[in-house]
Amino acid sequence: MVSVLLLTKNILVEQKLQTKLQRLNYEVFCCTNMLYLMTQQSKKLPMISYFDYIILSETISENELQQLLVLLPESKIILRKLEKEPEKQVEGIHGWISEEASVEELRENLCQWEKCPSSQEVILSLVGSRIGNTGETTSTGSLSISKLERRALEQLYQANGKVISREELCEYLWSDGATKSRLAQLSILIKKLRIAFKKDGVSGETVQTSWGEGYLLTNTALEYYEQEREQEALLS
């Protein structure tokens, strides 16, 4: 069963969404205390790792949201509950959901962010593999990423520090272009790239978000990836 943590300041206002998620057989844990511990005491809570999805209620302010994003695990799917679609993407948030959506709409939206079971992810990490949309992995030197992630990284690298729009990246990566589903997948893909750089020991910002425009590689990421490509060329 897929588990959902719904962080809120008022559990009563979450009953409508909670009921719909439970109809879809999601195990929902609605909590105010965990929210308090993280925002007021800046505590990282190990039990969060047991949840597949983390939903942040509209009762949480933008300042509190930024505090939470620092404390939440990067490996989790983090969604924002809002009454209407936000005007801009928030770094670290995979997408948004509304309690006014039908059960069918919620089902399809949540399917966009479905992940492999945690136990499978642990096994894959132990053997040094990363799963992408193609189910295959590739390696640029020591940077281990999927083929789809590699294609996105190549596009960003070729831009040489200039911004590539999210729509342009979607058009390049998928035949159906910049649909809502593909834009959500792109957010996850970019997050995976950042995690891959971090796992490989690259400190600082690597894939930068330019609000309202798109993504770009920082000088740190450009230099690192260039070295990786040179190493790969020597080995081939």
pLDDT at 139: 46
Out of 87, 111, 135, pick the residue that ends a domain: 111
Report the b/e string of 157-167 with b at 16+ CB within 10 A. Answer: bebeeebbebe
- Cβ pair 119, 191 in contact under 8 A: no
Q: Which parts of the chain sit beneath pLDDT 70?
A: 89, 114-142, 235-236
Same domain, 88 and 12: yes
Same domain, 46 and 92: yes
Out of 111, 129, 147, pick the residue that ends a domain: 111
Percentage, residues of the chain above pLDDT 90: 34
Q: How far apart are CA 80 and CA 90, in angstroms?
A: 9
Out of 111, 132, 163, pick the residue that ends a domain: 111
Same domain, 100 and 174: no
As for how many domains the chain has, the answer is 2
Average pLDDT of the chain, as a whole number: 81
pLDDT at 61: 92
| Burial grade of 187 (CB within 10 A; 0-12, 13-18, 19 or more) | buried
CATH assignment at residue 13: 3.40.50.2300
The pair phi, psi for residue 96, each rounded to 5°, is -135, 155
Q: Which domain holds residue 28?
A: 3-111
Same domain, 93 and 177: no
